[in-house]
Amino acid sequence: MTVLGDLDPGQRARVQHVRCEPRVRRRLLEMGLLPGTEIEVIRRAPMGDPIEVRLRGYSLSLRHAEAAGVEVSPRSESVRAGRPSTASPLPAE
């Protein structure tokens, strides 16, 4: 399983579990980081902390330590410069 803190800008993922200390976990769930929610990493600060993600139509900034407690399953498509990536192989001719 991958954690949100390991994703690069432009990558999308679906939240699987939120495993943080109880106060932080409750706050993240209240902000919409529920299992099944699709998220996209928008950018990272120059030193890597915080991480800006987009979910449910809004942007959210998380500390790297908080993002490390959010288990995600990466999506095969990513967004780079407003376009889906070509991560999937081309069909055979």
Minimal CA–CA distance to 8: which of 81, 84, 89, 78? 78
Q: Give the mean model confidence (pLDDT) for residues 58-65.
A: 90
pLDDT of 83 > 60? The answer is no
pLDDT of 15 > 90? The answer is yes
CB atoms within 10 A of CB 93: 3
pLDDT of 93 > 50? The answer is no
pLDDT of 72 > 90? The answer is yes
Q: Give the mean model confidence (pLDDT) for residues 22-48.
A: 90
Q: What is the pTM of this model?
A: 0.72
Q: Give the mean model confidence (pLDDT) for residues 13-39.
A: 92
pLDDT at 39: 94
Sign of the Cα torsion 69, 66, 24, 56 reads negative
User: Which residue carries 């902000």 as its tokens?
Assistant: 31
Minimal CA–CA distance to 5: which of 78, 79, 71, 80? 71
Domains in the chain, CATH or no CATH each? 2-76 (2.30.30.90)
Take residue 51 and report the two structure tokens written for it.
């991480």
Tens digit of each residue's pLDDT (9 = 90 or more) over 45-61:
888 789 999 999 999 99
